[in-house]
A and B are shown apart, each in its own frame.
Chain A
Amino acid sequence: MACVTDPKDLTPTAKKLLKAIKDKALTVDEIVRKTTLPLFIVRSNLRHLIEVGFVNQNDEKYLIHPQAVSLI
Chain B
Amino acid sequence: MTEEHVNNTEVRSLPRIGDAAPQFEAVTTHGNLKLEDYKGSWVVLFSHPADFTPVCTTEFIGFQNISADLKELNTELLGLSVDSISSHIAWVRNIEENFGTKIEFPVIADLSMDVSKKYGMIMPNESSTEASRAVFVIDEKQVVRSIIYYPLSTGRNMDEILRLVKALQTADEHQVATPADWQPGEKVIVPPAATQEGAEERMNNKDYECVDFYFCKRDL
Interface residues of A (CB under 8 A from B): 1-2, 11, 38-41, 43-45, 47-48
Contacts and interface: CB of A to CB of B under 8 A. Distances in A.
Interface in B26-63: 27, 30-34, 36-38, 40-41
Contacts of B40: 39
A40 B27 contact: no
Which of A11, A44, A45 has the largest count of B CB atoms less than 10 A from its CB? A44
Contact of A48 (B32, B36, B41, B85): B32
A28 to B, nearest CB: 9
Nearest to B74: A39
A40 B41 contact: yes
B83 interface: no
Contact of A44 (B34, B41, B85, B86): B34
Nearest to A45: B31
Interface in B1-33: 27, 30-33
Interface on chain B toward A: helix, strand, loop, or mixed SS? mixed
Interface of B: 27, 30-34, 36-38, 40-41, 76, 85-86
A40 B32 CA distance: 11
A44 B27 contact: no
- Give the top 4 A-B pairs by smallest Cβ distance, nearest first: A40-B37, A43-B37, A40-B38, A44-B37
A40 B31 contact: no
Contacts of A11: 31
B30 A41 contact: yes
A43 B41 CA distance: 12
A44 B37 CA distance: 6
A2 to B, nearest CB: 8
A48 B31 contact: yes
Contacts of A1: 27, 85
Contacts of A45: 31
B31 A44 contact: yes
B76 A38 contact: yes
Given A39-B41, A44-B34, A44-B37, 13 more contacts: A2-B85, A38-B76, A39-B37, A39-B38, A39-B40, A40-B33, A40-B37, A41-B30, A44-B31, A44-B32, A45-B31, A47-B34, A47-B37
B150 to A, nearest CB: 25
